[in-house]
């Protein structure tokens, strides 16, 4: 069952995008094809139903080859499909030739104002040219770039930003910034078409999330070309990530957007790539590595979950398979809410349960939970499927039932039924003592390396468990 889904295929080769497990049912949310047209940036398709491509931009001077190539390797490792580099000077366009030759992923040259740099970037082998047709020196300059790009088979990204609309749209901008942005984009599209150049994607960006959403929705209805999505100047690492998740997530949820870049005010471009992937994973649009779900912890929590989750998150970073792992802190809703997870654990006071696809695999002592979970994951990945030992599974199911009984005053419907029956006979029924349950002693658990307990991150005060 698992066997058919765990083979790791680099995400850009997923075409159409794979939906595994519980994400399958969500496919109806998306437009079948995000944009009608498709372009190729070297070997990466954009639009036309291709997987949403993740891109980022180096934060270095492109002419600083060592620093630039180090950052490109970092972002490629983090999962960038495309990388953009700034080309503001001749020394940068000189360096571009080497960057293009050495980069493991296609390279987009970012050009402002200077059409000769655009021509040189195409000559240097750039796989795509980003420019704003409105600031390159007039339609004849745009025509020269388009001609050179056509000859070289190089696509363009053309785009408008809310900060740099052409003058004749300034009045419209004051009335309706959204319509002004869309009008500017459509004018550029028509300009390119008049030049017989249709090998492009379009971007329309604003610092304002609602306007970015509205403008891109409107534009997607008006033009068939692929859309590049981004929030300009999104902000700091934390707030910028959230802003981008809101804005780009909203568009992508409805199939608008074919390639995305998260802009964060940090030198570490790979952080932008990680956020982009998290957004795509959340929407089931692409898969990359494991997905960890965890309950939010509450007063019902019966084990040191913050620590366990941190340890699992850390260990999962070593896995490339798109498995889903669930961590539940108590049994109020049973395995139910995590029954579709590929693997999961739920813990109680001394022991915990490992489960897979809603079925108990085995119970283990509390201290062994994480180790045992990864034993099961590794075994299943090796075998290509989850093998269930029925006797251990039954023992696990029995244990789960026992834990439910142990917490019967708050948990099981059966217990409530008993209490209700008792209450019908006499007052004070809910003061009835709980059934005594012998504590379960741990097995021969060896001491293992654990994540450091951090009282600040995961304080014990107010919780049911203590640390020893």
* Binding status of residue 272 toward a copy of itself by CB under 8 A: yes
Question: Which of 3, 460 has the CB closer to a copy of itself?
Answer: 460
Q: Are strands 351-356 and 82-86 parallel, antiparallel or unpaired?
A: unpaired
* Binding status of residue 166 toward a copy of itself by CB under 8 A: no
**Which stretch in 32-40, 308-316, 391-399, 440-448 sits in contact with a copy of itself by CB under 8 A?**
308-316
Tokens in use for 186? 């459509």
Tell me phi and psi for residue 199, to 5 degrees: -95, 65
* Binding status of residue 457 toward a copy of itself by CB under 8 A: yes
> Which residue shows structure tokens 């980003």?
130
CA distance 107 to 235: 25
**Which stretch in 43-51, 55-63, 182-190, 376-384 sits in contact with a copy of itself by CB under 8 A?**
55-63
Q: How far is the CB of 79 from a copy of itself (least distance, A)?
A: 14
* Binding status of residue 23 toward a copy of itself by CB under 8 A: yes
Question: Which of 388, 423 has the CB closer to a copy of itself?
Answer: 423
Q: How far is the CB of 318 from a copy of itself (least distance, A)?
A: 16
Site residues (CB under 8 A) for a copy of itself, limited to 241-270: 241-243, 245-247, 249-250, 253, 263-267
Question: Which of 134, 396 has the CB closer to a copy of itself?
Answer: 134
Q: How far is the CB of 221 from a copy of itself (least distance, A)?
A: 15
Q: Are strands 324-328 and 351-356 parallel, antiparallel or unpaired?
A: unpaired
Site residues (CB under 8 A) for a copy of itself, limited to 350-389: none
Let me know the angle formed at the C-alpha of 93 by 88 and 97, rounded to the nearest 5 degrees: 150
Q: How far is the CB of 298 from a copy of itself (least distance, A)?
A: 5
CA distance 173 to 207: 14
Buried b (16+ CB within 10 A) or exposed e, 21-52: bebeeeeeebeebbbebbbbbbebbbbbbbbb
Q: How many CA atoms lie within 13 A of 271 on its CB side?
A: 14
DSSP for 137-191 reads SSHHHHHHHHHHHHHHT--EEEEEETT---GGGHHHHHH-HHHHHHHHHHHHHHH
* Binding status of residue 77 toward a copy of itself by CB under 8 A: no
Q: By rule CB under 8 A, what count of residues binds a copy of itself?
A: 123
Q: How far is the CB of 372 from a copy of itself (least distance, A)?
A: 20
Tokens in use for 5? 């889904």
Site residues (CB under 8 A) for a copy of itself, limited to 80-99: 85-86, 88-90, 92
The mark string for 109-148 relative to a copy of itself (x by CB under 8 A, - otherwise) is -x-xxxxx------------------x-x---x-------
CA distance 387 to 356: 10
* Binding status of residue 437 toward a copy of itself by CB under 8 A: no
- The helix (H) or strand (E) run that includes residue 217 is helix 209-222
* Binding status of residue 33 toward a copy of itself by CB under 8 A: no
* Binding status of residue 28 toward a copy of itself by CB under 8 A: yes
**Which stretch in 9-17, 146-154, 220-228, 334-342 sits in contact with a copy of itself by CB under 8 A?**
334-342
């Amino acid at each position: 069952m698992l066997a058919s889904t765990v083979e790791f295929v680099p995400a850009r080769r997923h075409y159409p995008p794979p939906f595994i497990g519980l994400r399958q049912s969500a496919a109806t949310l998306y437009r079948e094809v995000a944009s009608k047209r498709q372009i190729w940036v070297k070997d990466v398709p954009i639009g036309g139903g291709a997987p949403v491509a993740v891109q980022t931009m180096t934060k270095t001077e492109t002419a600083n080859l060592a620093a630039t190539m180090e950052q490109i390797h970092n972002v490629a490792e983090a999962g960038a499909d495309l990388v953009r580099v700034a080309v503001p000077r001749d020394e940068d366009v000189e360096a571009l030739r080497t960057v293009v030759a050495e980069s493991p992923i296609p390279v987009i040259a970012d050009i402002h104002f200077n059409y000769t740099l655009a021509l040189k970037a195409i000559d240097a082998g750039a796989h795509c040219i980003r420019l704003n047709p409105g600031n390159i020196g007039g339609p004849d300059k745009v025509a020269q770039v388009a001609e050179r790009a056509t000859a070289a088979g190089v696509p363009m990204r053309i785009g408008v930003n809310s900060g740099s609309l052409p003058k004749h749209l300034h009045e419209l901008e004051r009335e309706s910034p959204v319509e002004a942005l869309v009008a500017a984009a459509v004018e550029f599209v028509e300009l390119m078409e008049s030049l017989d150049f249709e090998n492009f994607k379009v971007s329309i960006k604003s610092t304002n999330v609602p306007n970015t959403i509205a403008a891109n929705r409107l534009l997607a209805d008006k033009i068939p070309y692929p859309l590049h999505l981004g929030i300009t100047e999104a902000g700091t690492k934390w707030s910028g990530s959230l802003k981008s998740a809101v804005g780009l997530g909203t568009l992508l949820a409805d199939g608008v957007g074919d390639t995305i870049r998260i802009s964060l005010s940090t030198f570490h471009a790979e952080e932008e790539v990680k956020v982009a992937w998290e957004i795509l994973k959340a929407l089931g649009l692409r898969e990359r590595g494991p997905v960890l779900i965890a309950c939010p912890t509450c007063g019902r929590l019966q084990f040191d979950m913050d620590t366990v989750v941190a340890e699992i998150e850390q260990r999962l970073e070593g896995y490339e398979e798109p498995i889903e792992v669930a961590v539940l802190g108590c049994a109020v809703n049973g395995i139910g809410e995590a029954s579709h997870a590929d693997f999961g654990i739920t813990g109680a006071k001394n022991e915990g349960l490992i489960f897979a696809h809603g079925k108990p695999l085995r119970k283990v002592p509390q201290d062994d939970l994480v180790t045992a979970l990864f034993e099961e994951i590794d075994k299943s990945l090796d075998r290509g499927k989850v093998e269930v030992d029925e006797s251990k599974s039954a023992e696990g199911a029995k244990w789960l039932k026992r834990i439910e009984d142990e917490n019967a005053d708050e948990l099981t419907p059966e217990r409530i039924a008993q209490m209700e029956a008792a209450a019908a006979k006499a007052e004070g029924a809910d003061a009835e003592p709980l059934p005594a349950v012998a504590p379960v002693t741990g097995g021969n658990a060896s001491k293992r390396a654990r994540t450091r307990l951090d009282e600040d991150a995961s304080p014990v005060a107010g919780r049911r468990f203590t640390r020893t």
